[in-house]
Structure 1
Amino acid sequence: MAESFFGILKTELLYTQNFETADEFTASLKEYIHYYNNERIKNRLNGKSQVEYRALIQKT
């Protein structure tokens, strides 16, 4: 599971941008992780983000 996340991270963030400083990379990484967990829609989660899906599961 972690290998899959890091593969997606590299494809969507690391390989698409050039970072001038470590701080710039850290800020982009934090933004990406927020996007990945809260906004990124997954078909296998019925069109919901991971946070939305977890909240839905906990209600049932």
Structure 2
Amino acid sequence: QYTSNGFKHKLEAAGMTQSMSRVGKCIDNGPMEGFFGTLKCEKYYLNKYNTFKDLNEAIDEYIHFYNHKRLQKKLSDLSPMEFRAMAA
């Protein structure tokens, strides 16, 4: 699906660049799979969404929460943005 011409055309139309490594190189995929798993467990499965707009807004809110307010043990109990600011 992600290598189909239709998908590539949609990315180009949206002004996006696809980033994929070679087949079998899960190092790129792992962090995103982990994030989507967390998003589904903490937000999607706990609620019912009546419209795509409601779901889209909930995902946007969750991404902001995840990046700015959700403390993570592996980041010394900081949010990702707090951790990144300390590294700069």
RMSD: 0.5
Amino acid at match of 2:75: L
In structure 2, C-alpha distance between the alignment counterparts of 1:34 and 1:53, rounded to whole Å? 15
Higher relative CO (Cα under 8 Å, sequence separation at least 6) belongs to 1
Match of 2:47 in 1: 17
**1:48 alignment partner, SS class:** coil
Q: Which ranges of 4 or more aligned residues in structure 1 deviate by more than 4 Å?
A: none
With normalisation by structure 1, the TM-score equals: 0.93
Of the two, which has the highest radius of gyration? Answer: 2
**2:74 alignment partner, SS class:** helix
Q: Following TM superposition, by how much is the alpha carbon of 1:47 offset from its aligned partner in structure 2, in angstroms?
A: 1.0
**1:19 alignment partner, SS class:** coil
More helix by share: 1
Aligned residues between the structures: 58
